[in-house]
Amino acid sequence: MKKTFLTKAKAEEIASVYPTPLHVYDEKGFCDNADDLYDAFSWNDGYKEYFAVKATPNPTILKILQKHGCGVDCSSLTELLMADACGFCGDEIMFSSNETAAEEFVLAKKLGAIINLDDITHIDYLKKHAGIPKKICLRYNPGGDFTIGNRIMGNPADAKYGLTRPQMSEAVKRLIAEGVEEFGIHAFLASNTLGNDYYPELARILFKTVRELTEETGAKFVFVNLSGGIGIPYRPDQEKNDVHIIAEGVRKAYEKELLDHGICGVKIFTELGRYMMGPYGVLLTRAIHFKHTHKEYVGVDACAAHLMRPAIYGAYHHITVLGKENAPCDHTYDVVGSLCENSDKFAVDRPLPEIEIGDLLVIHDAGAHGFSMGYNYNGKLRSAEVLLHPDGTFERIRRAETPADYFATFDFMPEFSQYKR
């Protein structure tokens, strides 16, 4: 059974101050989880998690993660600006972008971020616009299928990211000639993986490539960035990954592929997003309508604009009706939002306890790629974000949008002047 960190009483207390729909984050949950990750990788001197900002781009959350040792992984101008405003600098910022604009490289270089090049042609582009730094990372795409045993985990051949193996060799040689002294390597070959074998297998491939490139070019590799991709159990019958088993698998590959060949001091970096925040944020919404037509519908005050994953991926998000955690799931509902889009359904044919108007529903696992993927379709306004502290107090960490925000880009038009902030 999936449990939520919110009780009905606490949720009602929060909703009485900040009306639903609302994203709520569990500070204790994501802090303990970050500490546990660091514990798992403590065998590696210099291990660092660069939290993927796109998953949960909130300054308060970034600053808390920073206190637990995390850096940030950015891929756009505004993510870099947010990182800078939150006090991240230099090696604390990884810039893993693609199809990167010149101004983004310029800012990344100015902040001293570690730049992760997505393509060999970006060497000249970076040189022309920002200059080549002393330390750089290259994103590798091995092509083919990415398999573990006989399971296909991903399809790198189809992915737009990264350099081919021959391009990796050529890029390293060219970058050495441009004065680069320290290298890193990065790859992201599978997303939202369950089971504990993704990182170890990815690590093996990257460590082996580091060894080959070192022998071939004499380059000094100082880190391997395993990127994101550790998944979370969205469904109640799925099991949580064990980062201690994962980190141990990476350690074995590290010994076999690097240490046994005399390559020492390589740091492990990760760029996890979903694993860091996914389970520790929920979308809190209230049942406001019933509709009995060809199916039984529960209309809620949130919609796909607040959490897109069900609408665009058909993704499962567990739902708990607060106060009815132990009631039998003897009703079947479609739980739907208000967009003029038939895909705006948080759940289809979901067995749930009997729902009454006014009930608070928790939509689980919305802490990563939840709020951040939201949009303004149908003129829907983005919700507030609230942080629940370990002592039970709570804090608004983003206000809800108002019509003034929605009309802000028309602020040059007199008919919208009444909405100016």
Ligand X SMILES: *Cc1c(COP(=O)(O)O)cnc(C)c1O
Selected from 191, 338, 372, 378, the binder of ligand X by CB under 6 A is 191
Residue type, 187: A
Q: Is 330 helix (H, G, I), strand (E, B) or coil?
A: coil
Residue nearest to ligand X (CB): 228
Selected from 34, 40, 53, 55, the binder of ligand X by CB under 6 A is 55
Q: Please give the angle made by the CA atoms of 20, 21 and 25, to the nearest 5 degrees.
A: 95
Selected from 226, 272, 287, 347, the binder of ligand X by CB under 6 A is 272
226 binds ligand X (CB under 6 A): no
Give the Cα separation of 259 and 270 in Å (integer).
Answer: 20
Give the residue with the Cβ less far from ligand X, 133 or 370. 370
How many C-beta neighbours within 10 Å does residue 270 have? 29
Give the Cα separation of 24 and 5 in Å (integer).
Answer: 10
Nearest distance from C-beta of residue 241 to ligand X, angstroms: 11
Contact 252, 204 (CB under 8 A): no
Q: H or E element: which one contains 373?
A: none
Size of the site for ligand X (CB under 6 A): 17
56 binds ligand X (CB under 6 A): no
Give the Cα separation of 193 and 150 in Å (integer).
Answer: 15
Nearest Cα to Cα of residue 188 among 56, 94, 308: 94
Strand partners, 152: 147
Interface characters, 73-92, with ligand X (x: CB under 6 A): x-------------------
Residues within window 286-345 making contact with ligand X, judged by CB under 6 A: none
Q: Is 244 helix (H, G, I), strand (E, B) or coil?
A: helix
Selected from 20, 214, 227, 241, the binder of ligand X by CB under 6 A is 227
54 binds ligand X (CB under 6 A): yes
Give the residue with the Cβ less far from ligand X, 314 or 351. 314
Give the residue with the Cβ less far from ligand X, 233 or 323. 233
Residues within window 346-405 making contact with ligand X, judged by CB under 6 A: 368
Contact 282, 4 (CB under 8 A): yes
200 binds ligand X (CB under 6 A): no
Give the residue with the Cβ less far from ligand X, 227 or 241. 227
Nearest distance from C-beta of residue 365 to ligand X, angstroms: 12
Give the residue with the Cβ less far from ligand X, 21 or 273. 273
Q: How many CA atoms lie within 13 A of 250 on its CB side?
A: 26
From residue 208, give the alpha-carbon distance in Å to each of 117, 203, 253: 20, 8, 9
Nearest distance from C-beta of residue 51 to ligand X, angstroms: 9
User: Which chain residues interact with ligand X by CB under 6 A?
Assistant: 52, 54-55, 73, 96, 188, 191-192, 227-229, 271-275, 368
